[in-house]
Each structure stands twice: as C-alpha cells, then as structure tokens.
Structure 1
Amino acid sequence: LNGYLCAGVRLDHESYDHEEVVEKLRKGMHMVIRESSVTHFLAENIRSVTEVNSALARRVSFCTDDVTAKDLVEKGHVDHLVRLAIRAGVPPMTAIQMGTINSAEAYRIDHLVGSISPGRIADILLVDDPETFNVQEVIANGKLVACNKKLAYDLQAPKRSSLLTSELKCNPVTAKDFEYRVPLAEGKAKVLSMQVKGPFVRKRRDVMLDVVDHVVQPDTDQDVLMVSVLERFGINGNKSLAFCSGWSLKAGAMASSAAPDDNNIIVLGANAEDMAVAVNHLIKEGGGQVVVKDGKVLDFLSLPVGGIVCDLEPGEVARREDEINTAARLLGCDLPEPLMYMFFLPITAIPDYAITDVGPVDCIALTTFDPILELVEHT
C-alpha cells in the first residue's frame, strides 16, 4: 500500500471492510465508498466513520460506480447513498458533505462545484428535510430541471457525430469460432474455469470436461460455459476463448458490446451455435446486449451510442433492463443482474481471473494463461 501511494494514487473506491478504509485514510488516501447495483459496501465501510472516528468523514465521499437504470429511477444516485449513510448513523450534514464538497475537493474541482457559494455552478437539490433527504426539486446550472420526481422539461436527443454511432468493426463469426480445439481427438480435458463468486470475485475451479472430435465440450450439468471476448474496434481482430462458471445456464448464450474496461464484445454460452448468433446480432445492430436460445433472439437492448450507451429515457431503459434480465433467467441464470455480472469479466484490475481479447488473464501473476491444464486420452 505504501508503494502504491508513493506512485501517486490519491483516491480509492475498492475497500472490502472498514478496517481497510481506516488504514488507507490514515496513510493519506481519500476514500470513496461504493454502493452500486451489485456491490453493497456502504453498510460495512461507513463503520470507519460511525464506529472508529467521525473525524475521518472529511476525507470520505461516495460513488455508485456501475448502477442500473432501474436503481437510478427507483432509488436515486448519490442522494440514495446519502440517505443510507444517515440511516447508518452519520449526522445528516456530514453525510451531505460526503456527497458534495468532499468529492469536489478530492477531484480538485471545488472551485466549480461542491458548495452553494459565489462563483460555483448552481447545481442545487431542494430536499424535504436533512434527516430524510428526499429530493423535491433539482436545479442544474441554475435552471429547474425536475420537480416532485418529474422532469420539468422535455428530453431532446442531441445530434451525435457519426463517430459515436458507427458500426462494430469486426467480421461476422461462425460456431467454429467458439469451439475450443485441442490435439486430443477423444477423451477428457482438465480445464481452469473462472468461477464467479460475486460480481468482482473470480476464483479458480478445476473441472474435467469431455473432448469430442478435438473440441472441449462445455457442460451445463457442471455449470461450465464457454466465454469469449472479441476486439471490435478494427485494431487487430483478436478473439479469446476460455471457460467460466457461476451463471447456471442450461441453454443459450448472451452477449454485450458494453464491457468495461475496453468495451469489446463479450459473449458466454452453453453452445457455440448460440454464441455465434448472439455476436452476429450485435454486429448487425451496431451494439447492445442480447440473449439467444436455440438460434433465436429472445431479447435485445440496443446501445447505439458507441455500442455502450442507450438513448432511451431512463424509465424506458429500466423497463428494458428488466426484460433482458428476464430473458437471461429463461436460460437458467439465477444471478441478480446476469448481463452486468457478465460484462465485468474483462476487468483485469480485480483478482483473481479475467478475460480480455488477448486471452484469459491471471490478475495476480499479471499474465495470460492456457485454460487447458491436462488432456487425458480414453483408455
């Protein structure tokens, strides 16, 4: 941690318990407590303020990181985190400070935002009471934009550059692109499958899979799927292939062109044919998220802006998110946010394993690896 700080890192939003928060604060970091749609750390991390030392709050702020449109509409954004902090025992004005001026100072933009004071941008929330912090009106840049949870103006889609709405620059695929071929004709393959244990935790799981006609077979009975990342910006045409577990899919495939950090196409599935259908649908439509079963598209959420961003109004996006998650559950997936769990797989900053267009990655060793551990011929 000391070396990390000496390298110049000032802020952190990846703490898994309040002791870690306190340690980093005492070494001079600014801590950002994250509460997203799939990672819930506020209740634990806020203990650094409520139980250890209330003075630490001055160097703590909030972020949502990745949050669904449904949560934005139903719960709110940073205002939701302020309410959670107040309920956890943080004094209202301290919680509000953590959601405003603390963040502005941490990012060195407090001369622009973070307080209601001369020379700052007039971004202001009017609330019912500091204790409950329910937002009544929203003023953005000096203009009333929302009142009583309703927009005070009509949303207008902006004119966008063709660079933001261009096609995915990758060639159509076939089922063979998602077959993991090995020298062994028939037998067994011992493979390393990336086992999801929460959205940001991927552990090693060794599994024996059948090899048929030189192809390692995914196995839904053992909860082992194929997963692939395809470079989609026309740079090198990279395509990786590996194994993953934790989705409980019994059939089909799902894919997304929004997948941090690089936003390449990620696809996982129980069979190569549906994986190919899913990827080709994304290429045809210019990006989005898709769920496929038996060669048919069950649902598709268009992401026309760079293949990353939707251009529907928030309530409609929330409804469409529900629909595509419902489609994923028809494949057998029981995760709370199936598509979101999937598109976190390429993030290499979080141990233990990930997958990029270059290949599966051992995040601890900082190297790619071969998921085939051993081939066993039938005797």
Structure 2
Amino acid sequence: MSKIINIEKYIDVAAGRKKAELVLKNTLYLNVFSNEFIRADIAICDGIFIGIGNYLGERELDFSNKIIVPGFIDSHIHLESSLIDPIEFSQIALKHGTTSIITDPHEIANVCGKRGINFMLDVTKNIPLDVYFMIPSCVPATQFDESGAIINSNDINELLKEKRVLGLAEMMNYYGVIEKDDEIIKKIKYTLESGKQVDGHAPFISGIDLNGYIVAGVKTDHECSTFNEALEKLQKGLWIMIREGTACKNLEALLPLISYKYYERCVFATDDKHPEELLLQGHIDYIIRKSIKKGVDKILAYKVASYNAARCFGLSNKGAIAPGFDADFVVLDDLDEVSIVSVYKKGINVLEETEHNKLNINYYEKEYPEVFNTMHLEPLNIEQIRKNNIPLPLIGLIPGEIITKDEGCATGIDTKNDILKLCVIERHKNTGHIGIAYVKGYGLKKGAIATSISHDSHNIIAIGAKDEDIVLAVNELRNMSGGMVIVLNGRTLNKLPLKIAGLMSDMKANLVIDILNSLKEKAYELGVNKEIDPFMTLSFLSLPVVPKLKLTTFGVVNVEDNLLL
C-alpha cells in the first residue's frame, strides 16, 4: 500500500494509539536537521519512519548501545566499472551501509545502446538496493569516439519517462554545451522539461565558460581535483561530488569543503570502484571513515553521505531519520570507524532477513543476446600495428589521476626510457579502425596487457613492449568475448573473461577479485608502475573528454583543443 492510503494508520501509530510494527528502543540517532545525536525510541511501519519519542511495538529491538545513521547514498557511480553484475554489487554495497545509488550506465550504453540501459534497468528492478539512473548524455562521448551505439535526444526523451530515471547523466561534452550544439541542447531541454536534472562533467572549466555551462541547466560536477576549482563551482551554485574511487582519488584535495561553511553543497561519489576495493576497503563507508580520520566533523561526514545526496537528487523521502522518511538506516558500533552492525532497507535487516539472489544468466542471455555478443572484429595481424620509425604522439601518465600530459613524440618502443606502444582497436562494427600512439609512465618492461574496458566507447585497448604480444592479447580478448588479459612472449599468462558486454563478469565477486589480483600482480612483475592501477589506468587512456591527450580508434585527441592530432 502507498503512504497516502495508510495515512490513518500512521497517524494512530505516531500518536501512540496503536503499536508500531517495529520499534528501535533507546536509540542514539543522527538528526540531520539539527546536526546532533539524540536518544529516543524510533517507530517504523510499512518501511517508513513513523515517529520519534516513546513507543511500543509488535517487535522491539534494544539499541541502547548502538548508533543509527541514515543509509548511505553514492551520488555517482558506473556500476559496470565494478566488473561484477549489479546483483552481486548490491550485496556487497549493502554490507557497507549503502542503501541507494545513482548510476550512469554509459559504459554499457556505449556498447549496446538503449538495450544495454534496459538490461541494467531490468536487472536492478527487484533488488534490495535502490538503484536510480541518470541517462547517458554522450554516447558516443565526442565526435572522436567510435562506440557501438548512439543515444540521441529522442532516446533520452523516451528513457526519461522511467520512474527510476532521475535525469541526464554527466554532460561530458562541455564544449558542445558552450557552443550550443543542437543535439546537446535538445537533450538538456528534454531533461529540464521533464522536471529532472542534469549532471555535469567539467574538469578545469572556469570563468565565463563555466557560467555558460551552468546556465544551460547543469547542477553537479564530480571532476574537481583541486579545492579552488571546486570552490568556484560551488560558489556558482553547483553541487560538488567529492569523488574517491579506484582511479580518481580527490577526497584529500577537497576535504576543506566538508566544513560548516561549504558542506551543504557537497555529496560523496565513487564514480568507478573495482571489486577488491569495494569488498575490502568499503564503499561510501570508506569515504566517511577516511574523512573523519583526516579531521572532518563526523556529523558533517555522515550528513554528506546521506541527506545531502538525497537533497541533491530530489529524493525527498530519503536521507533522514524522521517521520515520513524511508526507514533506510545503518546500525553502528563506532562512529569514527564506521563499524557496521546491521543495515536496514525500508525497515528490513537486509543482511539477515533478505534472500541473496544470483544473476539468472540463462534468462538474460536469452532476453538480451546483444549484451552477451559484443566482439565484432576480425583477428588482428601484426602489419596493422607496425609503425616503425614514424613519429607518433607520446602520452604521459600522472599517477593517481586520469588526466595526462603531452610528452611530445616517439618513434618506437623503448622500454629503457619507459616508452610503450598503445593501440585502440574498434570492436563493435568491424570497421578495422586502429589508433596508435606511445605512452610514458606505465612502466611495463615486457609482454602486453589488453582490456575491452576502455572509456567510454569500450573498444579494445592494448599496451605492450612488443608488437607480437600486443596482437596476441587483442586476439585473446576477441576470442573470449571481452575481458582482461596479460601475455608474454607469445603465451597467455592470465585472463579474466567479462561476458556481459565485455564489461562485467557473471562470476561471484570473490572469484573475480582473485583473478583480478592475480592479473595485477603479474602486471607489476612485468614492471608496471606500482603507483598506478594497471587496468583502470589503461582503461582511461582512451577517454577523449579528460585532458590532455587520449587515444581513440581514430588517433590521438588533444582534448583541450578539441582536435585530432
């Protein structure tokens, strides 16, 4: 029944005339409205908080020695980047106190288009974790990308009608916004006309260009890497998504924002999170814990992780422990350590009282065959990537960042000077297009590494110290329907198949983590710089919306100048 139908019942329970279904007795809870911890009984019915005070319940739990806080919300994540299917992801995230996420499925949309988005909506519709969607705004991300599908303004207008869709995902084509590209403006207008919001993606955009970007309707940004950049955007009205994921770790730089002066316009996000970090370090709970250890006021940290995110996305029934709000909350032993005892979703202990399902792979392979058959290319041969003595751009890596620098040119592989060959091979429509460049800072001394995860178009990206090994790595991925692979001297050392769009595995998280860790260990043994994640870093080298140089199937893109070199 809806809340409206049950108004009379809720009034009776709230007024103490009837017992509540569940009462949390003598609980110390975070009040996000007065910014304090208060001790009281909390009454729950039909999955919502009914009253705060003194209550009797059909079922009572003594929380005298516990603390409860609102369930955590990840304000921006790409579920596909977890490498595991959404059901498996949800079970891990819930254990870490995350009760809602806002996902942008632009990874699978770039591979499978609307059918990929529908697959994600379908898979997540009946799981304990609340999964909300922002519709990908840039598929492909730019004119320099060669994705497997196009999501146009009409597609977006249709998808915006979905109840769990909250708006338009990160508008990466800030150049298109500022230059008033017709299709970009249509996408934004359709979103605003539907009463939903537009997320931003604007690294280093400032001044009058930032004004133009914001006035178009953008409400958030998750690409801030310095305090001053974030402060300018916050002062101009943007919500700042403080990001701490696997590839991008901006929390420490942005910590000054989590103060009483600025925190009300801040939320937490992970963006991309590999499974081993999710399982072992945590999710939003990890960001809270790290913030508190760095000196952030604990009330502000928990509020940014819950109530602020709900306000940012207009989720008026989430993020607070108060009458009428969804009973999504986390039970803690220790505030500083974010020591989780249990997690409740709509009044149900999801760690004890819910059945944990597994992805029905047979059903989805039948319903969405295009999601499981995404490798459409001929075998690669060595002549296609030979570029001996031809000067090509040299891309410089920056540890801990997905931005790169221009290191000039190189004419060949030179492992003594840490210069490797980088190739991006189109895999969606068998166009035969291959982009080639060189990379400095990756560290590989021998062999080759390849993956079908390469943002955002997710063509095959391979890096190597030897052409023959690059070719083998690419063909291995082709034959196993996508994934990750390491080869050396004509032999495959290890691989992780990702049969869901070449992006996600249908295996249990522990197994995926074991294989992924083995791959990373092997990569480091072959010389990869230990300051970077071998696969996450590689996957972002083809993202032509983050400065400075990136490689696509068409060649090297100078992102700042919006030019193909």
Which residue matches 2:299?
A: 93
Partner SS state of residue 225, structure 1: strand
Amino acid at match of 2:398: K
Q: For residues 113 and 303 of structure 1, do their structure 2 counterparts lie closer, same or farther at Cα, with a shift above 3 Å needed?
A: farther
Q: Are the structure 2 counterparts of residues 345 and 112 from structure 1 closer, same or farther at C-alpha, using a change threshold of 3 Å?
A: farther
Show the 5 A alignment for 1:292-371.
Answer: 292-335=487-530, 336-369=532-565
Q: Which residue identity is paired with 1:330?
A: E
Aligned mates of 2:320, 2:431 — CA distance in 1: 47
Q: Which of 34, 48, 53 lines up with 2:243 in the alignment?
A: 34
- Compared CA separation, residues 246 and 18, structure 1 to 2 (3 A): same
Query: Is residue 2:270 matched to residue 1:67?
Result: no
**Cα distance in 2 for residues equivalent to 1:113 and 1:303:** 34
**Structure-2 separation of matches of 1:155 and 1:177:** 45
Provide closer, same or farther for how the CA distance between residues 58 and 287 of structure 1 changes in structure 2, counting only shifts above 3 A. same
Contact 1:167 1:283 in 2 (8 A): no
Query: Structure 1 residues 332 and 355, CA, compared in 2 at 3 Å: closer, same or farther?
Result: same
| Partner amino acid, structure 1, of 2:408 | D
Partner of 1:156: 358
Match for residue 438 of structure 2 among 243, 246, 255: 243
1:194 aligned residue (389, 395, 398)? 395
* TM-score after normalising by structure 2: 0.58
The whole-number CA distance in structure 1 between the counterparts of 2:416 and 2:333 is: 53
Residue 22 of structure 1, CA deviation: 1.8
Structure 2: distance between partners of 1:115 and 1:162: 41
Aligned pair 1:289/2:502, yes or no? no
CA distance in 1, matches of 2:258, 2:356: 41
Q: Measure how far apart 1:129 and its partner are.
A: 3.3
- 1:219-234 matches, within 5 Å, as 219-234=414-429
Distance in 1, Cα, partners of 2:382 & 2:317:
53
| Counterpart in the other structure of 1:46 | 255
* 2:405 aligned with 1:206: no
Instruction: State the Cα distance separating 1:141 from its structure 2 match.
Output: 5.1
2:271 is the alignment partner of 1:271:
no
Seen in structure 2, the aligned counterparts of structure 1 residues 307 and 56 have a Cα distance that, compared at 3 Å, is same
Deviations 1:90-146 (CA, angstroms, capped at 9, x unpaired): 3322211111121122223x1353334566554432222334322221234554332
Q: After superposing the two structures, state which structure 1 stretch, 39-48 or 267-276, moved more.
A: 39-48
- Distance in 1, matches of 2:217 and 2:516, equals 38
| Structure 2 residue runs without a partner (length 5+) | 1-209
TM-score when normalising by structure 1: 0.86
| Alignment partner, residue 214 of structure 1 | none
Could you say which residue in structure 1 is the equivalent of 2:376?
169
- Would the aligned equivalents of 2:393 and 2:556 in 1 still touch at CA under 8 Å? no
- Structure 1 alignment gaps of length 5 or more: 182-187, 210-216, 370-379
Structure 1 segments of 4 or more deviating over 6 A? Answer: none
SS of 2:295's equivalent in the other structure is coil
Distance 1:171 1:117 in 2: 59
Aligned-residue offset at 1:153: 4.2
| Cα deviation, residue 203, structure 1 | 1.1
1:127 to 332, 337, 340: 332
* Percent identity (aligned): 28
1:2 is paired with a residue of what secondary structure?
A: helix
CA deviations over 1:321-372 (Å, ceiling 9, x no partner): 2101012123211233111110110111211100112211001110111xxx
Is residue 445–residue 526 contact of structure 2 (8 Å, CA) maintained in 1?
Answer: yes
* Whole-Å separation in 1 of the counterparts to 2:243 and 2:403: 16
Aligned partners of 2:482 and 2:501 also within 8 Å:
yes
Q: Write the letter of the residue equivalent to 1:136.
A: V
Q: Distance in 1 between matches of 2:282 and 2:428?
A: 33
> 2-side partners of 1:137 and 1:71: how far apart?
20
Does residue 10 (structure 1) correspond to residue 212 (structure 2)? The answer is no
Q: 1:163 to 1:191 in 2, by over 3 A?
A: closer
